[in-house]
Structure 1
Amino acid sequence: MFASRLLLLLFCGYINADRSLHCDFDKLSLCDWRNDPQANNVWLEGIGDIRAYMDNINNTVRLLSRTYDRDIEETGCFSLTYTMYSNDNNAPILRIYQKPEYVSLENLVQLSEEAKKTYLIFEDSKNLREVSFNSVANLKKFKDNFQIIIEAMATSYFGFANIDKVAILQRSECDAAISAATNPDPLRCGFSNNFLCGWSNDPQASQNWNAGSEKIYAFLNKINDTVRLLSPTFDRGLQETGCFSLTYNIRVDYQEVLYPTLRVYQKPEYLPLDSFLELSEEAKKNYIILEPKTYTREVYKQWLNSVAVLKKYESDFQIIIEAISTTDFAALNIKSVAILQGSECTVA
């Protein structure tokens, strides 16, 4: 709630500012932004937002800013309040590019996906179920005047994207916006706003993790009841200096002395989930990065934090959080997950 109010105050302070730098799309206005005529669909103006309806795979919309002065990029960042969803699990892909003036729009659009990453400052592809989030991305230092491009592309036969506000901020404005941002980052998720940050339940498990306002929780009601939380696929580069952090607690019936088995696996992308689940318990040990062993009766009253160093696979990877009940009742809560880097792992 505080973060939402802080973001509102930040944007309210821009009323008298350059509307090409700060826009809340009121009064059916695009604030000097415009649709890209090369795209095969358009952003539609609303009152207080713009939206795009994409009705076919690869249907694309692009919103183009005017050209900004290079001085803005030195201490600048780009803030976006948005949501998107689809009728299935294939949410649209939302990308924000910062295009230097020396690269033409036509050339940028024709680049390979790998080459486009040079200009990418933000990307999201999660089904947000109409919940609005705010992201903040630092501007790249191209030493040239630049343009911001907001692109959404459908990955199924229906996709929807909505933008409430955009802003180019400076210095302390960026610090405040980053602190208040609610971008559902799967690398660092506090499970707020009843959202899983791109993580998902394994439909093959017997129970599900449920989203709460500040945590996720699961109830195991019989012996061998199982829940699994699956991360998106993460880039292999995160493994080099990375670790995984988990904040959780566990509750069992007061008469019980047995706690559920909680394990965190790091599964390489080349190993399909079905094949992984069919492995023997002995073979699965090769992929365990975290398995807390010691609990006390007070464990349900406090949050525990565990950190594990990531394995070094020559592959992208997925994190799997699994709990298996050893009694007739257990309740588990997860407050946060994070993939940290370098000195962050030492501090954690």
Structure 2
Amino acid sequence: LMVLGLIGAVVLASGSLIKAISMIILGLLLGQINTDVISGTPRYSFDIPELTDGIGFVVIAMGVFGFGEIIANLGMPAEHREVFTKKVKGLWPTKEDFKEAWPAVLRGTGIGSLLGVLPGGGALLASFAAYTLEKKVAKDPSKFGRGAIQGVAGPESANNAGAQTSFIPMLTLGIPPNAVMALMVGAMTIKGIQPGPQVMSSNPTLFWGLIASMWVGNLMLVILNLPLIGIWIKLLTVPYRFLFPAIVVFCCIGTYTLNNSSFDVYMTALFAVIGYVFYKLKCEPAPLLLGFILGPMMEENLRRALLLSRGDWSTFATRPLSAGLLIAAAIMIITVILPGISGKREAAFQEAD
């Protein structure tokens, strides 16, 4: 499944196929900077203690997407930096907005539902995958980043769906797929509740209470956010010369509070420069994040499977599920490298540019 996700990221990435593959590989390499989960040996840490636990996802995302975008905006003329300079009207979604958004909502919900069960941040992965997919299928991808409603509806739907389906492995198998679910497992254990297949029959009140809370939570989001749209939109009218220093400060505070380490702030600054280089080279950074997330997970499960099979690689082809996923990945690779399809792909993105 993780191999299929990486191949899908390459297929759906906009721009050059070579650049997309390069970003995936770079993400995989960055994911190798950690401590080996089996031998306990630090890898590629260069004797820097802070790197033995690996580079944080937030550090890379904040640097590449946050700071990198700020640097790119500062390189533009002043008149191009402002988002809104006039009074904004018509904040509520129109019928046309709903018409354009609902296909993206359905696609995002499907992606989030599938990827949300993956360990290690399926909801985050689903958001980036949904955004990449929407940009791929859009008639005019140039609108993305400039207010395309599909670029908001798809990732947000995927994030919500992924956050809720992440309960599935915890409640059915007792395996927390992310840090939040790990806290949930701890809380349930403290209360004497054992997560697993029996939780639905032994604690039906808890199970159905969780289901109800998802509905109530989403309803409360609608009730709270829609009336407050006017307040949120006011932030976009703030002049960029005042806005970007505040963004930098809050990003630095958020990065520092992850581990109470100034090293993370320095690493974020480094990835800010890297993100700006990506911007100038027109490399889409989303595949890098997907590779960074899926790489360590793929390595860990690959090594575990080989240990259980005593080094027999044929186990991946003899099991129907793994064989089917590998076949699907192979079909995607063959499809994208076919001259006709590859030419159409490049032409589509050139038109978008």
- Between the two structures, name the one with larger relative contact order (CA 8 Å, sep ≥ 6): 2
Q: Choose between structure 1 and 2: higher strand proportion.
A: 1
* TM norm structure 1: 0.26
Q: TM-score, normalised by structure 2?
A: 0.26
